Amino acid sequence: MINSQKIHDGAPIRRKSVRNRRKQFAGLLFIAPALILVATFFVIPLGMAFWMSLHNWPLLGRPRFIGIDNYVRLTQDAQFWSSMRFTVYYTVVVTIAIFAVAFPLALFADKAHRFTKFYRTAFFLPVVVGFGSASLLWAWLLDVDSGLFSPAAEYLGLMAKRINLLADFDTTFWSIIIMVVWKTAGFNMIILLTGLQGISTEVQEAARIDGASSWQRFRRITLPLMRRTIALALILSVSGSMLAFDQFYIIADGGPQNRTVTAVYWIFSQSFGSFRLGYGAALSMVLLVILVFISVVQLRLLRTPEGM
Amino acid sequence: MSARRSASARHLYASLRYNGFGIVAAFLFLAPLAWSVLVSFKPSVEARQPPLPPWPVDGFSVQSYENLAKYGSGIWTYAGNSLTVALATVVASVTVSLLAGYGFSRFHFPFKNMLFVLIISTVMIPFQSILTPLFLILTKLGLQNTLTGIVLVYVTLQLPFSIFMMRNAFDAVPKEIEDAARVDGASIFAVLYRIMLPLVLPGVVTVAIFAFLASWNEFLAALILLTDQNKYTLPVLMAAVRSGQFGTIDWGAVQSGVTLMMAPCLVLFLGLQHYYIRGLTAGAVK
């Protein structure tokens, strides 16, 4: 101890600056593994994706540079645009549905009751189950012969005979909406709950004493003060839904009549079904631009001060 | 007296309404999970029928699990693949983010902020859009169709979250603690391992849980990057079973697979809920 003290006191300034430089170097070493991973498995692939999108790139054989031909072609790709339209439609519907369920759940879970913690955990459990597992579970529930919904409706006399829910676009679509709401409402509930708990009880109490009804308090105090949290939950839900794949692949296989093929699904089938890697990369670029645009909007929304 | 009684009656009514809603809603969220677990214990013949009632009528049976075990090269191969991938992702994510979090929190070096922002901003880019080049890069590295390859991809995808968590964890530890240890002559790694690690352990647990759940459940990248059937993880195998690649769909076996996939997630979450929610809200509060 005494020894090291002495070195400290006696260290000339030049030695200190050498040590600082060495310390700088050490810092870079600490982050090196992370940098190598991000460079190899993110930055380079990103550059490659753009490079590939300018090529006719088969899985085997020589890639051929074709400039923006892939991009020209995708403007005429009817299936791509119908997947895009379907993905946006799905995103809008599922986001509204998730909020319609998650907001009441958050208000419910914000109260301090004896069993509140149990309810919160129950609502949240489907979140930790993977989308793959959840899709396989609901694929069974939706099955016409061995599943739950159709046979149960028949037993209860709601329907004259069993109908195959996955044979028709609307029933497939709404079944998947319900499944996704079941799976993700708990997640959005927790996000909204953090916003609710950030509102001081004094403000609410003061408004109550002033005679504001509970609807007025929700509308005039809770909602404006939760703007940032709502924006966050909204953006997470929108960007997640724009990238939907698992549930449509596993439950519906893109059907009926390819009408539930999402954007990611179409990119997947072009790249790894038809092995048109260059064309798939061009489609990916379009999706990427849309998602980055959403993220930029998110950052701007989140930066605005609370309540403005 | 009567005023007090009516107040307590009102209280009772409010409590009944609250718990009534709570029980119905909790049932709706838990029922599908319970239904799947219950059908997986029905005898095969019964599992083919609609699950009404949901519990096994002809006694519990592990027939569905026996059928599940027979798919492809045996369920233990696939469960082993999934477990290997998940545990390796956990270990690598924790190690890489522990080092990087320490580096970003405690050192000054050129372009530090720029590099931090670069790593964090990769969350804005959907990994779904770079899967094709990833496939080619892994092929070049000889890692295509290997568990190592997919682990490296998963670790990279987890990095923004992991490093963000770990840097915050290190930032919360006062500098004086490690300065004292350094003065005592301990090496930088000894300080990190013996002094700092216990102090940032909550952050490490959060990083580990998220790494486990993400890699255990991931489907699309595994579907693309693992082409050899022996390398499949559980979600890829089960999706193949569902699509009929192994003959007529045995729903009992599929649900036993679902149960097998759900169990570690549920156990992990229920056991370490506090750390999980902390990770979830870290982004929401910031």
Ranges of each domain in chain A: 2-53, 69-303
pTM above 0.90, yes or no: yes
**Does residue A1 register a pLDDT over 50?**
no
Burial (CB < 10 A; 0-12, 13-18, 19+), residue A66, is: middle
Which residues does chain A have within 8 Å of residue B103's beta carbon, measured at their own beta carbons? 26-31
* CB-based contact, A31 to chain B, within 8 Å: yes
B window 3-22, beta carbon within 8 A of A:
15, 18-19, 21-22
Domain ranges of chain B: 2-65, 72-249
- Predicted ipTM? 0.93
Candidates A2, A140, A302: best to mutate against B (most CBs of B within 10 A) is A140
Q: Is the peptide bond before B53 cis (omega within 30 degrees of 0)?
A: yes
Rounded to the nearest angstrom, the gap between the alpha carbon of residue A146 and the centroid of all alpha carbons in its chain is 31
B72-249 homologous superfamily? MetI-like (1.10.3720.10)
* CB-based contact, A246 to chain B, within 8 Å: yes
Are B269 and A125 an interchain contact pair (Cβ–Cβ within 8 Å)? yes
Supply the pLDDT for residue A11.
Answer: 45
Instruction: Give, for B117, the enclosing helix (H) or strand (E).
Output: helix B112-121
Beta strand residue intervals within chain A, DSSP E = 55-56, 64-65
Beta strand residue intervals within A177-284, DSSP E = none
A window 202-221, beta carbon within 8 A of B:
none
Supply the pLDDT for residue A7.
Answer: 41
**Does residue A3 register a pLDDT over 70?**
no
Class of domain A69-303: mainly alpha
Token pair in block for residue B269: 């979450």
Share of chain A above pLDDT 70, in %: 91
Are B19 and A113 an interchain contact pair (Cβ–Cβ within 8 Å)? yes
10-residue block means of pLDDT along chain B (286 residues)? 73 92 97 96 90 88 93 93 98 97 92 93 91 94 95 96 95 88 82 90 95 97 94 96 90 95 97 91 62
Token pair in block for residue B6: 């009516």
Supply the pLDDT for residue A4.
Answer: 41
